[in-house]
């Protein structure tokens, strides 16, 4: 039956061709699915708008956080322009 469809081909060769075709179709389907996933991603502006809107809706400046918030502040002094020994004051420029 198969030899009548494809003259000169053995069943083994026909099965290998079918398997290779199926493998290529699977690779193509995976690539198409990956492209669809990237097209459904939100852009940065939409994400930032959503985060800011949600934060603004739930924000209450009188409500304390449930646990302490650790804040770290770093200051780098580049230049001290003047020092007053009399008042023990200095200016940073």
Verdict on whether the full-model pTM lies above 0.75: no
Give 51-63 pLDDT, tens digit per residue. 788 777 777 778 7
Q: Does the pLDDT at position 81 exceed 70?
A: yes
Rounded Cα–Cα distance for residues 37 and 46 (Å):
17
Rounded Cα–Cα distance for residues 91 and 80 (Å):
6
Rounded Cα–Cα distance for residues 20 and 8 (Å):
19
Give 17-31 pLDDT, tens digit per residue. 777 778 887 887 887
| Angle (CA) 57 61 66, round 5° | 95
Chain centroid to Cα 47, Å, comes to: 11
Residues in the chain, total: 93
pLDDT tier for residue 7 given thresholds of 50, 70 and 90: low
């Amino acid at each position: 039956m198969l030899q009548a469809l494809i003259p000169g081909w053995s069943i083994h060769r026909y099965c290998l061709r079918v398997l290779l075709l199926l493998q290529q179709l699977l690779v193509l389907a995976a690539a198409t699915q990956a492209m669809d996933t990237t097209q459904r991603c939100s852009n940065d502006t939409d994400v930032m708008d959503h985060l800011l809107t949600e934060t603004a809706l739930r924000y209450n400046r009188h409500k304390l956080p449930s646990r302490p918030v650790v804040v770290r502040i770093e200051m780098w002094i580049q230049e001290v322009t003047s020092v007053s020994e009399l008042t023990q004051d200095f200016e940073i420029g």
